[in-house]
């Protein structure tokens, strides 16, 4: 299928899924609501999408979107192929032709974009500049999990308060620290001032220990010029990473940034849940993450086991696997960032359910800051949970002669 882009849609309708697949193929390429003289065979050959197959699934008793037609609601996975010539290699064209319109189609009680298969011609996109290997290199951490933390509370700290927390986290032994995704450049902590206040702490820690902690700065702005000014401020101060709120800047902002970036781009997908939380509608992460990887995401936040947010564990496990799967080349894989309510107690299950790899960043906020013996003990406790996971031990066993882990289990274990 070298000259085709194939999209898999999970269709749900009280009518025929096969007929709906044909309607989507027509609507998303050449169709309008009435027969037109201009829609010739030549036009169709050039641009018409084709239904490759329709694989039935068990019907559902309840519709994914409100529907006053009686059920059951038939379900099927339909693969539709779009000619490369009709879409080209532009991401906005792909989103518009093969993705965006499908949610407007009348008659479905649900429709979900499950996957996108791209032909080799799509390997023109920049992809991650750093990815897994570059992230490890910048953090000076060639093996094991990369351990990160988020500055909390999310909002409201003055720059000097942030700097003090960074000092504590550096001393505690993390590899990575980030601004909360909600922190960009507010009046009480403008980015330039925050950099000027915090970076000396990171520099001093490197002087003392040889370890340069990676700090990801909240550079996002709707205006790409402003975002680039933020990027340049980070680079000028010797920084190596940035938090990018990909949905809040959109593909245009991300594309603009990546083509000029010298920073490792840590993606927060804030807003993504709107697209995926209804399991019968919207988009599966497997499809979504391909777009953002091609655009240049280096590190991708994907929740974790027993996240504090709504996401089921199986969905996280699928997301992790998606990130681990090359699109065109192993170098286009971002570093999966496991996060949300993580304190180490999920390490064993995470390791066992995600292919027993330590090529990941494990991000803990409250799990470090809230440790009863202090943040350094919180960091040690989390590293101990991963040692246990790799060694195949239970946390209870591993905690026997490790007081930090013992305290973590006692404090956070009921969660």
Q: Is residue 224 close enough to count as binding a second copy by CB under 8 A?
A: yes
Judged by beta carbon, residue 94 or residue 132, the one nearer a second copy is 94
Judged by beta carbon, residue 86 or residue 147, the one nearer a second copy is 86
Applying CB under 8 A, among 68, 225, 314, 397 the residue interacting with a second copy is 225
Contact track, a second copy, 266-305, x by CB under 8 A: --x-xxxxxx-xxx-xxx-----------x----------
Minimum CB distance to a second copy, residue 401 (Å): 26
Helices (H), 176-299: 191-209, 224-236, 246-260, 273-276, 285-295
**Cβ atoms within 10 Å, residue 205:** 18
Output the six-digit token pair for 260: 């000029």
**Cβ atoms within 10 Å, residue 394:** 10
Scanning residues 109 to 148, which ones bind a second copy (CB under 8 A)? none
Applying CB under 8 A, the span of 135-143, 152-160, 352-360, 385-393 interacting with a second copy comes to 152-160
Instruction: Report whether 321 contacts 357 (CB < 8 A).
Output: no
Scanning residues 396 to 415, which ones bind a second copy (CB under 8 A)? 412, 415
Q: Is residue 230 close enough to count as binding a second copy by CB under 8 A?
A: no
Applying CB under 8 A, among 220, 315, 354, 384 the residue interacting with a second copy is 220
> How many residues are recorded in the chain?
415
Judged by beta carbon, residue 135 or residue 230, the one nearer a second copy is 230
Q: Is residue 28 close enough to count as binding a second copy by CB under 8 A?
A: yes
DSSP classification of residue 104: G
176-178 and 361-364: which strand pairing? unpaired
Which of 312, 385, 380, 384 minimizes the C-alpha distance to 348? 385
Scanning residues 334 to 363, which ones bind a second copy (CB under 8 A)? 341
Residue 408 to residue 344: CA distance in whole angstroms: 8
3-state secondary structure 212-230: CCEEEEECCCCCHHHHHHH
Minimum CB distance to a second copy, residue 115 (Å): 16
Q: Scan for tokens 């702005």, then name that residue.
A: 221
3-state SS class at 4: strand
Minimum CB distance to a second copy, residue 222 (Å): 4
Q: Is residue 70 close enough to count as binding a second copy by CB under 8 A?
A: no
Applying CB under 8 A, among 192, 366, 387, 393 the residue interacting with a second copy is 366
Minimum CB distance to a second copy, residue 179 (Å): 11
Q: Is residue 316 close enough to count as binding a second copy by CB under 8 A?
A: no
Q: Is residue 105 close enough to count as binding a second copy by CB under 8 A?
A: yes
| Exposure b/e, 330-361, CB count within 10 A at least 16 = b | eebbbbbbbbbbbbbbbbbebbebbeeeebbb
Residue 110's H or E segment, with its range, is strand 110-117
DSSP strands (E only) in 48-156: 50-60, 73-83, 110-117, 146-150
Q: Is residue 90 close enough to count as binding a second copy by CB under 8 A?
A: yes
Minimum CB distance to a second copy, residue 143 (Å): 29
- HSE-CB at 217 with a 13 A cutoff on CA atoms is 34
Q: Is residue 37 close enough to count as binding a second copy by CB under 8 A?
A: yes
∠ CA 176-364-214, nearest 5°, is 5
Scanning residues 163 to 192, which ones bind a second copy (CB under 8 A)? 165, 181-182, 184-188
Q: Is residue 261 close enough to count as binding a second copy by CB under 8 A?
A: no
Output the six-digit token pair for 336: 């999966």
Contact track, a second copy, 40-69, x by CB under 8 A: --xxx-xxx-------------x--xx---
Applying CB under 8 A, among 287, 365, 380, 388 the residue interacting with a second copy is 365
């Amino acid at each position: 299928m070298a000259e085709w882009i194939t999209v898999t849609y999970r269709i749900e309708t009280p009518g025929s899924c096969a007929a709906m697949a044909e309607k989507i193929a027509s609507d998303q390429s050449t169709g309008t609501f009435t027969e037109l003289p201009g829609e010739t065979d030549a036009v169709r050959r050039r641009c018409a999408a084709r239904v490759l197959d329709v694989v039935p699934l068990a019907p559902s008793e309840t519709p994914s979107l409100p529907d006053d037609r009686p059920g059951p609601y038939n379900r099927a996975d339909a693969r539709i192929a779009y000619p490369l010539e009709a879409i080209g290699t532009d991401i906005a064209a792909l989103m518009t032709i093969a993705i965006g319109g499908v949610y407007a189609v009348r008659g479905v009680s649900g429709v979900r974009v499950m996957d996108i298969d791209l032909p080799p011609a799509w390997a023109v996109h920049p992809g991650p500049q750093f990815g897994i290997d570059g992230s490890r290199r910048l953090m000076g951490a060639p093996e094991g999990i990369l351990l990160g933390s988020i500055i909390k509370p999310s909002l409201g700290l003055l720059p000097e308060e942030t700097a003090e927390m960074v000092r504590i986290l550096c001393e505690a032994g993390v590899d990575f620290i980030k601004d909360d995704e909600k922190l960009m450049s507010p009046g009480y902590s403008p980015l330039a001032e925050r950099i000027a206040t915090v970076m000396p702490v990171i520099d001093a820690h490197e002087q003392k220990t040889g370890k340069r902690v990676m700090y990801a700065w909240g550079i996002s702005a709707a205006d790409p010029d402003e975002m680039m000014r933020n990027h340049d401020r980070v680079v000028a101060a010797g920084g190596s990473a940035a938090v990018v709120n990909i949905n809040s800047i959109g593909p245009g902002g991300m594309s603009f940034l990546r083509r000029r970036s010298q920073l490792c781009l840590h993606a927060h997908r804030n807003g993504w849940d709107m697209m995926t939380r209804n399991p019968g509608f919207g988009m599966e992460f497997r499809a979504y993450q391909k777009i953002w990887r091609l655009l240049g995401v280096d590190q991708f936040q994907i929740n974790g086991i027993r996240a504090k947010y709504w996401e089921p564990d199986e969905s996280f496990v699928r997301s992790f696997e998606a990130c681990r799967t090359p699109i065109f080349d192993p170098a286009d894989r971002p570093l999966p960032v496991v996060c949300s309510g993580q304190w180490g107690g999920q390490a064993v299950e995470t390791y066992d359910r995600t292919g027993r790899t330590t090529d990941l960043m494990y991000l803990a906020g409250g799990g470090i800051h809230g440790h009863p013996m202090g943040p350094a003990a919180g960091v040690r406790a989390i590293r101990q949970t991963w040692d246990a996971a790799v060694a195949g031990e239970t946390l209870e066993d591993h905690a026997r002669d490790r007081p930090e882990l013992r305290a973590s289990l006692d404090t956070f274990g009921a969660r």
